[in-house]
Amino acid sequence: MVSKIDNKFQIQLKYDPEFEKLIADGKMPDGRIKIRVNDEYLIGGEDHYVESIMTGLTLVDLLKAAENTLAGFSGDVELLDSGTYLVIEPHEEGMVTLTKCFSPTAVEDQSERHFDPFVVTKDDVISEIIRITEEWRDDALDVNPDIETVEWFERLQQSISDVKLEYQ
């Protein structure tokens, strides 16, 4: 497989139509996600988002993958309900590879993967994961400031803090 070396990593979320109602009730909404490296979509497409049930959990998983990356280990994220996985692995100094795959076996075994990896700077990946999770968190807090005391939301906030502390 030939790696594509790029530096512009972007995550976009599309909120569930029930986002505000669910957040107001202290519940975790579903959503959709797409991930782009420069002009190529790693997850989703220009007009297509991949389902991500329980978006808050997906964001916590992204933060955990970021934490693993900062520690020099691999991390993976399962986009719940879509059967899609994103694997983030250490590469050369200051770089990581990002690979999409469709099975737990492919997460563990590179020979089972059918897509070429993208090579991206570790800083771009970590900073984008922090950016999108903080944006989602802030949007939720704008709807319901009291949500910060709900257990799943506390985990999200703690995960953001942990990654930011490691990243500094």
Domain at 4-167, CATH from 3.30.2450, 2.60.40, 1.10.490, 1.10.3470: 3.30.2450
If you average pLDDT over residues 65-89, what whole number do you get?
89
* Tokens 């955990």 belong to residue: 64
CA distances to 2, 5, 76, 167 from 13, in Å: 28, 24, 18, 23
For the chain, the structural domain boundaries read 4-167
pLDDT in tens, 37-59: 999 999 999 999 888 878 999 99
What's the pLDDT at 168?
A: 81
CA distances to 46, 115, 163 from 126, in Å: 23, 22, 8
**pTM for the whole thing?**
0.91
CB 119 within 8 A of CB 4: yes
CA angle 153, 59, 127 (to 5 degrees): 115
If you average pLDDT over residues 6-35, what whole number do you get?
91
